[in-house]
Every structure is written in structure tokens, then in C-alpha cells.
Amino acid sequence: MAQPRARGWRVAQHLAVPALAVAVVALLPLAKTGSTAGSDRWTPLTPAKVALSQKVGPTVTAQLLGFNDFHGNIDPPTGSGGLINGVPAGGSEYLGTALNKLRAKAKAEGIHNSDTVVAGDNIGASPLVSAAFHDEPAIEVLNAMHVDLASVGNHEFDEGVTELYRMQFGGCHPTDGCQDGDGFSGAKFPYLAANVTQKSNGLPILLPFTIRSYEGVPVAFVGMTLEATPGIVNPAGIKNVDFHDEVETANKYATVLGWLGIKSMVLVVHEGGMQSSPPAPLDPSGCANFAGPITDITKGLNPAYGVVVSGHTHRFYTCELPNSSGANSLVTSAGTAGTLVTDIRVTLDKKSRKFVDASATNVIAENGIKNADGTYQKDAQGNFVRNPALVDPAVKKIADKYRVAVAPLANKVIGSITADITTTQTAAGETPLGDVIADAQLAYTKSGGAQIAFMNPGGIRASLIYANSPGGEAPGQVTYGEAFTVQPFNNLVVTQAFTGAQIKDVLEQQFVGFQGQTVQRMLQVSAGFTYTISASAPAGSKISNIKLNGVALDPAATYLVTTNDFLANGGDGFLNLAKGTNRVTAPGFDVDALTAYLATGPIAPGSADRYTLG
């Protein structure tokens, strides 16, 4: 394991080589990289192991421990998000133990080189225990886990570039100060941002890569976020930076690193894909029926990128995917919320300096107590009992400090529910919890005349679980901390005027190909608003039979529609929601709308039948 480094690395460590490379890269033209025809997509049902080059000299083996999308999950996630095929998993002190065990296992096998690599979204969309302190807790527990490097993800930009700099370099929050009373020194690991550059000078906002040496063999780690980040974060915080194509950026750095004699590279990128059933359940280390943006990214990569550590989709997989040479690279992802760790082993040739092979297995960061029959212990309320033997004490000490500090707010009961209200989608893409949140936002703004509410599915981060009792409250009672975990972004709630015709265009923009939309995202809608989807119809003609309270929507009439300000500013590609007029902003945040609605409960799950497939 790499030893923890003093804060001084921020100025000096690895800076000379990246600075030289950045200077050279800035002079290179951006050249489109065409995809080279390669082998068919590899879809095994077993952990991946890829041969990368012929051995010509003595070799050295190194371990890379990968994970992604931690999202400040100090505590174990609840509901289905905290289960990996029935095994309770996640939580910072349990992730720390999983990492330590894997490092010790490698060392016992004679592997003395180990680095821990994170593919973005360490922070942002975090539960209250981290978000209340501007995600300083997340960075501090990752420091305690001895993370060695991380790429930026889209959520690293939730509060803008200036706040990302604070996460890297430290310092107290400009408004709230250092709330825990002991300062904040920032990440001990470098954040890498190769494809995010300043508009003013074209240079990366942070280091684009770092170099590790394994018994004299240099390996470069190039880090980046997805090019589409501007469409999924608040534009106010990123107005002075540009986001570039992942493949073009990676290959530019591969060229320069190659000139410097580096032949082995790892791409740490916050973009991914997903397995699809069958089989069911999916193997965490499998690659069944795989698809997603990371496939095309890998297909365009210089073959020196023998390993790609990915993220963003919150899915688990280990795959062999063809790169630009037609040969395969190893591509991994470890789900989300610290529930899994990818144990990657690479063999390097000391003479050629190339990867010889690479393999990966996803390992569950287990946190439960196993019964003799293979099930896991639960308490009287049905919550999993956590295993004290699996706790990393160094991480727990930090986590407990923030748990105590946030407990009075987090454990305050604010409402109640009748049953689990989940994010499980219907075939049309509607969810019971999406219905409830849309209803909450409509109720919050109805006094101002609002008639319809829309909610983006990506803004719903967790289910509400009936039996969950984080503060010891009765089953069915919901705490502020639980509500905040569902909606952690502190978006504003705004109401705008649209014509019926404009509302139809908003709904059509849920589908790829209509007015610039690139990803299908189904808005969640409030009660009384219904419509029919014709999935096979061409883009722009998929929506019909739109009604409000049983009456057909009038294309010429004006309606007041409530959304969060992320959507109202055109987020998630909903540019038509930025065309509203007479915007009115409600007091407080979106989580306040949810807590006010839950206070009128007990609230039942939404019916999830407000829009249907025709």
C-alpha cells in the first residue's frame, strides 16, 4: 500500500512530468479518433482476465483496488441499494475494512505494490451526514482509507469548480466555515481532470494524470469525467471551464506519455455501462449482455490503456472490451456507495514496460452478520444487524464524529409512510417515489396556482424504507436524514408558465433524438396528469392523450408547472423546460417540499400508473 503523503505533495509530487506533458498536449491538435473494427463484444459470465502483450523479460505484479460513486455514503445504504445479491454491504468503516483485507491478501501472496483508485463521484448527492458539512466527511474518510488517486466525476462539480478546488487543497467553507471545529486540509490524494480545461488558457483545472512506479516500471493513470457533465450539473459553477471528448483527450495524453517512455496506462473515467439479465441475479464480476458509453470509449482508446476503471452508471461489472487495435482491454466498475471493491491484478514486463496481463474480481464490502443458513441477521424492525468485527476503527472514528454532530437534525422525525416507497420503475419508467415527490412539489406550490409538477429521476437518490430506523424511531416514521438522502441536492422549487403545446414538447424531449436529447429520461409527474407513450413512434411523435384531471390539455392554453431549478435551467437535456415564463421561486429547497408533504402522512406509495405505454 502506498504510504499516506504529507500535504506538500500538492505542490511537488509528480508535478514536473504532468506539467511538461500538459504543455506539450496543449500544442497538439484535437484529432478525431475513428473506431477500429475489432472483435465482437465479450460477454462472459466469469471474472475477466485479459492478455495484453507477450512477456519478454522479468515481470512484476501490482494490485489496483478500484471503486466509484461513493457519494459520501458514510453510513451503510438502506433498502436494495445496500444489498449485493442479498448480501448487506457498504458504509465507510466496512469499505475501509474490505480495502485493508484485500491489501493484506495481496501482500500475503507476495504482491507489494498496491494502489487504490476511484473513478469519480466521491462527493455530491450525499446523505446528510456528509452533505451537511459540504462533503468534508467524505474526503476525510477516503483519506483514512488511503485512497491514492481519483478522477473527477460530474458530482464533483455540483457546487462548482471553486468548491472542487477546496475539496482538493483544503480550507474552510467560504460561508459556513469549518463546522466541525478542527479545520479541513483537503484530499491527500490527487484528483485528476484531464478533460476539464480552463476557458482562459486551455489548461486542465487539476492534474491530468499521475505516475506510479512498480519496481521501476512506470504506469500512468489518466483521470477524467464524462464529456456530458455540463448537461447534468448546475451551469453556474462551471461557466469558466470546458469539458472535452474522453477518447480524444485520453489518446492525446497517451501520445505524450509514450514519448516519455511510458508504455502502460490506466484510464480512470467517470463513464460506464451495464450488464443486463439473463442471468439473474447478475454476477458482480460478470459482463452479461453488456452495453453503454464505455464500450465506444474503450473502442477508441490507444491500446496502451490496458485497464479502464469506470463508473457513473452505478452498476457492477468486469469486462474485456476491444480497444482501437481490436485487442481487448480490461474494463471494471464497482457499483456504488462503497458496496463493492474491484480487486485488479496487473502483470508488467520490466523490459518492455508493458502490461502483460490484467484480471479483475469484484469483492463485496460486507457489513452484516451471517446466519448458519446463509441469511443475515436482522433486528426486530427488520433492519440488518451490522458486524462490529468488520469495522475499520480509523474510519469509524471520523464517521462517528460527524454522526454525533448531525444527529439532532438527521434523527428528527418529520413524517410517516404506510409502506416502502421505492424507486422501482414500471415498464414506462415511472416510480412510486417519483409520484410522491412530484405530488409533494405540486402541494408545495399549489397556493401559487401550480397545476402540474415534474421531477427528474436522477434527482431521486434512494428509496424510503418502512422499517428503516436510523434514529431508533418507530417503523414507518421518516426522519429528516432519510428525506435528505432521497433529495440531497438543495435544488430550488420553481413554477413557470407553459402552453399546452410547450408541455407536449417537454414530454417529447424525454426521448432520444428530439431537439437535442441524447439520453432517455422519464420525468415523474404529479397526480391528475396523464398521457400515453407510443414507444415505436418516431421522435417528436411519441406522446398522445395528454390530460389534466381528465380533461385534454389545450395546446393554446397556459398552465403553471413546478419543477426544481435544475430542470428549469435545462438540466438533463430538457431544454424545453428552460422556455417557461413568469418564473416564481418558492421558499426553501426541494427537500423542504418533501418533508412538508410527509408531515401530512402517513403517505402511501404512488400508484406509478400516470403515464402508460400505448
pLDDT digits (tens, 9 = 90+) for 26-50: 555 544 444 333 334 444 567 899 9
- Percent of the chain scoring above 70 in pLDDT: 93
Q: Please state, in angstroms and rounded to a whole number, the distance separating the CA atoms of residues 178 and 592.
A: 25
Provide the pairing of β-strand 217-225 with 305-309. unpaired
Please give the pLDDT value at position 12: 40
Q: What is the mean pLDDT of residues 517-537?
A: 96
CB within 8 Å of 8: residues ≥ 6 apart? none
Is the per-residue pLDDT at 165 higher than 50? yes
Residue range 346-365: mean pLDDT, rounded? 98
Higher model confidence: residue 23 or residue 295?
A: 295
Cα distance between residue 225 and residue 245, in whole Å:
10
Instruction: Provide φ and ψ at 445, rounded to 5°.
Output: -120, 5
pLDDT digits (tens, 9 = 90+) for 51-105: 999 999 999 999 999 999 999 999 999 888 899 999 999 999 999 999 999 999 9
Q: What is the mean pLDDT of residues 324-337?
A: 97
Whole-angstrom Cα distance, residue 463 to residue 592?
A: 17
**401: CB partners within 8 A, 6+ apart:** 180
Confidence of residue 236 (pLDDT cuts 50, 70, 90): confident
What integer pLDDT is reported at residue 207 of this predicted model? 98
Q: Report how far apart, in Å, the C-alpha atoms of 58 and of each of 64, 103, 155, 307 are.
A: 20, 23, 42, 21
Structure confidence at residue 19 (pLDDT): 61
Joined grid coordinates for residue 277: 439479465
* Nearest CA-CA partner of 136 in 181, 192, 202, 102: 181
Q: Is the pLDDT of residue 221 over 70?
A: yes
Model pLDDT, residue 24: 59
d(CA 155, CA 458): 12
CA distance 188 to 7: 6
pLDDT digit string (tens) for 250-304? 999 999 999 999 999 999 999 999 999 899 999 999 999 999 999 999 999 999 9
| Mean pLDDT for all residues in the chain | 92
Residues 6+ apart with CB under 8 A from 424: 431, 432, 463
CA neighbours within 13 Å on the CB side: how many for 190? 26
Res 43: pLDDT: 47
Question: How many CA atoms lie less than 13 Å away from 24 in the CB half-sphere?
Answer: 15
Instruction: Map grid coordinates 432519510 to a residue.
Output: 482
Q: Judge contact between 452 and 559, C-beta under 8 A.
A: yes
Which 8-state DSSP code applies to residue 470?
A: T
Predicted TM-score (pTM) of this structure: 0.86
105, 91, 33: which is closest to 63 by C-alpha?
Answer: 105
Nearest Cα residue to 567 out of 533, 517, 523, 614: 523
> What's residue 29's pLDDT?
53
Any idea which residue has 480495502 for its cell? 99
Q: Mean of the pLDDT values across residues 153-179?
A: 95
pLDDT for the residue 568: 93
Q: Mean of the pLDDT values across residues 508-517?
A: 95
Evaluate whether 498 touches 559 at the Cβ level (below 8 Å).
Answer: yes
**pLDDT by residue (tens digit) across 395-452?**
999 999 999 999 999 999 999 999 999 999 999 999 999 999 999 999 999 999 999 9
Phi-psi region of 472 (alpha: psi -120 to 50; beta: other; left: phi over 0): left
DSSP-assigned states of every residue in 493-519? EEEEEEEHHHHHHHHHTTSTTSTT--S
Gap between the Cα atoms of 138 and 142, Å rounded:
6
Closest by CA to 557, choosing from 497, 491, 608, is: 497
How far apart CA 370 and CA 437 sit, in angstroms, is 36
- 566-589 confidence digits (pLDDT tens): 999 898 999 999 999 999 999 999
- pLDDT for 78: 85
Question: How confident is the model at residue 44, as a pLDDT?
Answer: 54
Bigger pLDDT: 232 or 85?
A: 85
Q: What is the pLDDT of residue 45?
A: 67
